Structure 1
């Protein structure tokens, strides 16, 4: 999310016209020191983006809890209730392929505000008592399709508003908020529903999206679109996805974003049966779900505050290589306390993302960053859904601990293959993307 200011953000440069020689192109081109999270908040524009993100992530979590309760109250169907969660993930792949072209062909602030307004309208429709469940699911799918476009556009905007190491730390802060929402958001959402009906809680979500849109509109710079060529949106989006995936280096980095989380989600998909088998009930289930995000938050905070940028890059591949090994340790059928520790250790490896952020944005041409980040977000969520579903399916005939261990082993082997591709493509032999300047 972003907003507009007539003055350049503190610590950055005034926005330059697209294609101008002095336009900033990559993070990391500035000073190579650890600037710290405090320096990120010194950038006025980012403060608005961060506040808008906090609002929207709280609204999203509250909406998900409210919709699950609402659908179950009105239908009494566990299958329809699970469809609420599925529809927050399944439309991502379609959106990444069909809508990603919008991110670079329209001004970022306009896209971000429009995404928030469309999301608010969808949730407002869900909150109406006259809305049947079928239409509610349609509205939820539409809102979910908006998310990858929003995330990609915001990510590309951060490159322009945060220079040097500030971009890496800004992206880290956005992820920390998202992970924190997983730790406390669902519990807070449940408490809210003690006082509010599900539809009333959805009205609160409408307010959070409108508040986010307002913050983005008044607090971010009105930058021009990164690309101005015309053409069919669908064709542009599909073509750009093909261009990005055909580039060996970019494809390898995308796989590095996608593969580990797909196997992380296997553990989340069978957390409920694991907790039940351990006799821990809903409390144990909640602790299992919170352990990995908690480790992630600690990991990113430590890497962002204690390590210099070169050190973050040096640890990226080793951490990615071992990140799934704690899940493989589930083969010993750990008790609940040890299982929580193992999941937290998996989260503690998440600092590899800071190095990945720098490599990815350096590799992708400036005029394609919005589409690239939209595609990364779409693939990330889609494959997490695949991993969660696959884990649940296998757990129908195998013990939950064995499913998690198998995911850890298979995931580690898969990550090793991706790491080889990432190392091999460090040498710039692939050249520029087709259709872009060399």
Structure 2
């Protein structure tokens, strides 16, 4: 049975805007209140998907979630018709209006944690949607992520869908942004790495400035639900000081793919011990002696502040048909001297990485999401790939259809004041109604 890694990218929503709703996400905070370009953002994301397709890597589209979430405003005490709701929220609580319009589901890495069927005890592909409880605008995504993933991966013979973990502080779950799977190749059993930011225990270390979002208890629950075990899974804690410097998810400071782990030396607490655990688990899982390459970038070469600005570790590591690896990095890595120097050093080091490409994802980067944030990795067998919904798999025809759709339905600019425009609701609903047809997902959205 042949396995390969599908990249399921979030399609940027027509309501993409810079509301700065995420404490600890420095790029999001820095661009709060500026005008965004939904059209440019969606086209940039689509171009990244198309580039992966051109490289021969399976690529699929995760549709945006329905916005605005006006029922949230009603739950919070606002009333009247849609126009009255929006007007009242804009005057009394603009942050709530921004939350119900948030396009943050574009960052599919936060949508769920996925376990490959080659790793689970029941040999099925497991999904658990992230509850994202630490930010109001993101907590709205959990149930809809669950429903969309069930529509795309609906065959119960192959796919298991778990509900989101309980929305309590003990089980804060930020999804695959804190998950890495290492393997000799996609046909071999893998090692699951789950990173948490805090644990509900006395005297546990936590950041001082920004919230840690992912709990140890959540990683343990995922391991149990996805039928993993101590032989093929590990949990490790983020370095609290790095969270305070803007490393709100592990994928801001570490990235792994197959037998290459690329990380900053300030990624994890007790990192030397953690890397030793990873190496020992790797050796038990890979009897053919396939090497694990661990490239640890020092603070002398790239400090944490520049790591966050460049999003070097939020790049995608991709295996080409030649077996070589390519680093798909944001354009900011080319523009920043320190990040570019680190990449040049990696390319001549003894590891599988041989190529780099830089992509312009500025609209997403301005909101704190790079290449890796935009995609959910789904390791699939050929049989599982054939069993998923085919309408979301990127093809030349779908790429062209989505280009036309974006250019027709998306605004060139969207600022905070534009969220008060009731016409925006109809524009979004009309766009998503057409998207249902393009992706062959009738009834995906409940327009009320």
Category of TM-score, reference length = shorter chain: under 0.3
Choose between structure 1 and 2: higher strand proportion: 2
Q: Decide which structure has greater helix share.
A: 1
TM-score by length of 1: 0.26
The higher relative CO (CA closer than 8 Å, separation ≥ 6) is in: 1
TM-score normalised according to structure 2 size: 0.26
